[in-house]
Structure 1
Amino acid sequence: MDIRERKMKILHAIIKDYIATAEPVGSRTLAKKYNLGISPATIRNEMADLEEMGFLEQPHTSSGRVPSDKAYRIYVDQLMKVEKINKVIEETINKEYESHVGELDKIISQTSKILSNLTNYTSLALTPQLCSASIKHIQLVPLQEDKILMVIISKEGVVRNVVINIDKKINSDTLIKISNVLNELIRRSSILQFEQEVFDILNVLNEEERILLRDIIPIIKDTLSNNDGIKVYTNGITNIFNFPEFKDLEKAKEFIDLWEQKNILVQLLSSGTDDGINITIGSENKMDEVRECSLITATYQLNGRTLGTIGVIGPTRMEYSRVVGLLNHLTGQLNELVKRTLID
């Protein structure tokens, strides 16, 4: 065994032991519990090297060592073997979904519950977002003399209602005409490119209708860019108290306060890649509120396009292999349920 391989084997054992026990790991523990084939003295020397390299840290009150964020990163990237879920868990998941097929919001909500129940971490699930690429239809409807209702419907069934204030009453025929123009623009291109397309079609509108259309387009863009209509389902928030890392009440309170801030939760779930599993460990998090946590997320999709995100958050001492295996399974099942709900 070469020196690097030996170091990685020791590091892997330390991470595995610390994830399981939450206790700093010493050379004697490694020598007794793991068949490393080297003496405690050699293990101590290698641990000293790993600490110098930034992979291990020493808590003030212990002679043992704990993995650093850098160690967890090399673990998930190079050392970890993803754990496949067993048949019992698979059957449990199927039963949990049975009564929610056909209702998208309830499917997403149930997914968050399943994640929390099966991992014992805090779970999050983001409903599909309204974006320019997914708009299916826009309808303008008169409400009062100085108000109209704009209904935006996405291909995924997301509906957003926006009340628009106007200077004077506009009749239904005019609103139907402008709605038809907007839907023609949607058919031609993205809403974000309306300025380039709108002039080609303005000749079907009179001056008053053109002014109204120009006023409405920025409102549509603002509606697509804000998070007001997005739902974030969370479960198992108090699970954090089960971990010794959060026995400090002030630290636990900061974590719980985070869940009252919807915009932060949306940012957390939107910070990963567009597909696959995304793991953010401790100090890698851009937000101070979660710098002592790890976040594992996965996206769910329809016809190859990302709709939303699910994930779990917990201490950096997280069972990464088990969570990743569960997320892999859930996203596959969620993709199928979303397809059956929205298309079939």
Structure 2
Amino acid sequence: MAISDREKLVLGVIIDYYLTFGDTIGSRTLVKKYNIELSSATIRNVMADLEDMGYISKTHTSSGRIPTDKGYKFYLHELLKVEKISKEERKKIDMAYELRVSELEDILKKTSTLLSKLTSYAGIVVEPDIKREGIKKVELVHIEDYLIMAVIVMDNMAVRTKKISLEHGLSREEVAAVSKELNEKLRKGELKSYEVEDFILEKDNPVLSNLENEVFQDIEGQFYMNNASSIFQNKSVEEARETLELFNKKKGMKEIFEILVKSREHDYGDVNVVFGDELNIKGLEDFSFVYSVYKMGESQGVIGVIGPRRMAYSKTMGLVKYVTKEVNKVIEEIEHKKER
């Protein structure tokens, strides 16, 4: 059944009021507060129709209505206008990225912190899967004969470090020789990280075998989350316990977002909203994910926030959109420098 313009108007007002004040709104208040040129009786009839169509539902404590999942989704896709961020907010974001940093980790950490401060929700950033990125350099640092440190610099300026325990002791000179050999191969063959395995498997050198098993298998995008404590506000101890267990598993949270990106089509620059219960994961039912996808090379990452179902979507979506735009600018600068 198609929804009429009158029903859209009333539904939009009901949801807007609920998101702003966390309470239901009756027909009389709706008329007075929003200056709608309809009688209270007409609005009650429209509310009844919206309830029959599944967009709103009655509460047990009052005669007012609250939005259902169906109502939320219609509101987000059809009625919501993304709010433009203020000059003050724009200034804060521009200043945060004014000092251009050369390492991707610094940019992403800064982004998760910035979003959490601007929205008061948990800011999250998922780094693209850097296994598809080229390796710029691998530095092997001799700590002692049976322990070395591998410092891996990717083309996108991401840096990974890993301590490697060796079965066969190597001197400082031997480690330096292995490091030189590996880097020469990387430069000549322009190997991606996932191609290094073939090179290593051709070698009998135990150090290179350790690199394959302990370092290159460990290269993956990072997950950054700031202000996670905001997620547990207004929750009972039992509810908080389930969610806390989930959010403590950062790798699991990262995988949730990676699956989300891979399983849906995303237009570059758009802001998306997904309700927690759509993910079918216990502990996330009462949350919303507002995020945008950004690209680096052949891979995609995620920038956004996690907050309650009842959040300021218009403002939050505007902030996520602008921050993502700024992050893309910085990434483009890194890519441009890489091409020089």
SS in 2 for 1:153: strand
SS in 1 for 2:219: helix
1:324 to 311, 314, 317: 317
Contact 2:105 2:158 in 1 (8 A): no
1:219 to 193, 208, 214: 214
Alignment correspondent of 2:328: 335
Cα distance in structure 2, aligned partners of 1:239 and 1:176: 45
1:261 aligns to 2:249 (yes or no): yes
Alignment correspondent of 2:113: 113
Alignment correspondent of 2:178: 175
- Following superposition, the deviation at residue 77 of structure 1 comes to 1.4
- Following superposition, the deviation at residue 263 of structure 1 comes to 2.4
1:234 aligns to 2:226 (yes or no): yes
Cα distance in structure 1, aligned partners of 2:311 and 2:81: 14
Alignment correspondent of 1:58: 58
Amino acid corresponding to residue 24 of structure 2 in structure 1: P
Alignment correspondent of 1:287: 281
> How many percent identity over aligned positions?
31
SS in 2 for 1:321: helix
TM-score, normalised to structure 1, is: 0.78
Cα distance in structure 1, aligned partners of 2:314 and 2:83: 5
> More displaced, 82-91 or 296-305?
296-305
Residue ranges of structure 1 left out of the alignment (5+ in a row): none
Cα distance in structure 2, aligned partners of 1:89 and 1:216: 45
Alignment correspondent of 1:298: 292
Q: Deviations over 1:92-139 (max 9, x none)?
A: 333344467556544433333332332232322345654232432334
SS in 2 for 1:157: coil
Residue ranges of structure 2 left out of the alignment (5+ in a row): none
Cα distance in structure 2, aligned partners of 1:99 and 1:174: 38
Amino acid corresponding to residue 80 of structure 2 in structure 1: M
Amino acid corresponding to residue 320 of structure 1 in structure 2: Y
- Following superposition, the deviation at residue 14 of structure 1 comes to 1.1
SS in 1 for 2:251: helix
Cα distance in structure 1, aligned partners of 2:5 and 2:117: 37
Cα distance in structure 2, aligned partners of 1:51 and 1:334: 42
Contact 1:121 1:240 in 2 (8 A): no
Contact 2:18 2:24 in 1 (8 A): yes
Cα distance in structure 2, aligned partners of 1:68 and 1:7: 15
Aligned CA distance change for structure 1 residues 53 and 130 (closer, same or farther; 3 Å): same
Contact 2:56 2:71 in 1 (8 A): yes
SS in 2 for 1:322: helix
- Following superposition, the deviation at residue 25 of structure 1 comes to 2.5
SS in 1 for 2:322: helix
Aligned CA distance change for structure 1 residues 150 and 324 (closer, same or farther; 3 Å): same
Contact 1:136 1:186 in 2 (8 A): no
Alignment correspondent of 1:124: 124
Q: Deviations over 1:207-261 (max 9, x none)?
A: x33x764564343442125x7xx352402734763xxxx2645445655665543
- Following superposition, the deviation at residue 294 of structure 1 comes to 0.7
